[in-house]
């Protein structure tokens, strides 16, 4: 079975531009989460979606937005890019449930490396 | 504030030795504790996960020990191999929505 797939793998943008990152979850998973990982640090939570509804939002500016589609794939959008947005953007999927537990264990894709010049 | 603290920041172990990485959390709003392994340029890969009502879980050479009263948990890698050289992250799953809170990471180097 395919794991979490992300596209593109690498992206170079300039300051002020807009970027869209895409993610396809593991088949059967209904929850998708997005994380930002800066070099040398642990991933930081950006968004979580479950059944197309936003379930959680991390401490990121409104320039960051996301959505989940009926097929459970997801997009992360970042507007007005800043140099500090350069990072590895990770998508993770899980079965997801309101009851917590093992169904919320997340599996990650390989990430999209975003460089802002 | 939800936090997971991880130590050490880096670790050097000889081949065949035991690697030990420790984590501590600050509140009880977590209901699952996974460990991830990450190689340079790759996404984190799930290694092993434990529920807070279990004191130990073993999968192959990897063992998680969990101390609920002390709010601490650790990863032991037995018979460490050069191929285990990677960055390891402990994490906690928020029981309200399922988001992951990560530790700062431990860069493990296993010397042949």
Token pair of A58 as six digits: 């991390």
pLDDT at A111 over 90: yes
Token pair of A16 as six digits: 């002020």
Residue A21 pLDDT: 98
Q: Which residues of A touch B102 (CB under 8 A)?
A: 42-44
Q: Report which listed range, A74-78, A103-107, B30-34, B69-73, is most confident.
A: A74-78
Q: Which of B97, B98, B103 sits opposite A42 (nearest CB)?
A: B103
Give me the residues paired with residue A45 across strands: A35
Identify the band that residue B94 occupies on the pLDDT scale cut at 50, 70 and 90. Answer: confident
Number of domains observed in the structure of chain A: 1
Task: Give the CATH number, domain containing residue A89.
Answer: 2.60.40.10
Q: Which of A31, A110, A113 sits opposite B98 (nearest CB)?
A: A31
Compute the average pLDDT of residues A71-94.
Answer: 97
CB contact under 8 A, A48 and B89: no
**Looking at domain B4-89, which CATH architecture does it have?**
Sandwich (2.60)
- A84: helix, strand or coil: helix
Structural domain boundaries enclosing A106: 5-116
CB atoms within 10 A of CB B97: 19
pLDDT at A16 over 80: yes
pLDDT at B1 over 60: no
Long-range pairs for B38-41 at CB < 8 Å and ≥24 separation? Answer: B38/B86, B38/B87, B38/B88, B38/B89, B38/B105, B39/B86, B39/B87, B41/A113
- B 12-71 near A (Cβ less than 8 A): 31-32, 34, 36, 41-46, 49, 51
Domain extents in chain B: 4-89
């Amino acid at each position: 079975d395919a794991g979490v797939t992300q596209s593109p793998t690498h992206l170079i943008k300039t300051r002020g531009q807009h970027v869209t990152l895409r993610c396809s979850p593991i088949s059967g998973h209904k929850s998708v989460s997005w994380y930002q990982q800066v070099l040398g640090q642990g991933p930081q939570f950006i968004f979580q979606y479950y059944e197309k509804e936003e379930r959680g939002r991390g401490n990121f500016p409104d320039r960051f937005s996301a959505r989940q589609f009926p097929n459970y794939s997801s997009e992360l959008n970042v507007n007005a890019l800043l140099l500090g947005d350069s990072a590895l953007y990770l998508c993770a999927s899980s079965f997801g449930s309101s009851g917590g537990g093992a169904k919320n264990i997340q599996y990650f894709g390989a990430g999209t490396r975003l460089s802002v010049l | 504030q939800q936090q997971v603290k991880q130590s050490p920041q880096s670790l050097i172990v000889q081949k065949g030795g035991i690697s030990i990485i420790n984590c501590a959390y600050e509140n009880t709003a977590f209901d699952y504790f996974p460990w991830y392994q990450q190689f340079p340029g790759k996404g984190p890969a799930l290694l092993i996960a434990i529920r807070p009502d279990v004191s130990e879980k073993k999968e192959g050479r990897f063992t998680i020990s969990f101390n609920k009263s002390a709010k601490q948990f650790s990863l032991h890698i037995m018979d460490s191999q050069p191929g285990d050289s990677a960055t390891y992250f402990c994490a906690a799953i928020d029981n309200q929505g399922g988001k992951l809170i990560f530790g700062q990471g431990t860069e493990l180097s296993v010397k042949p």
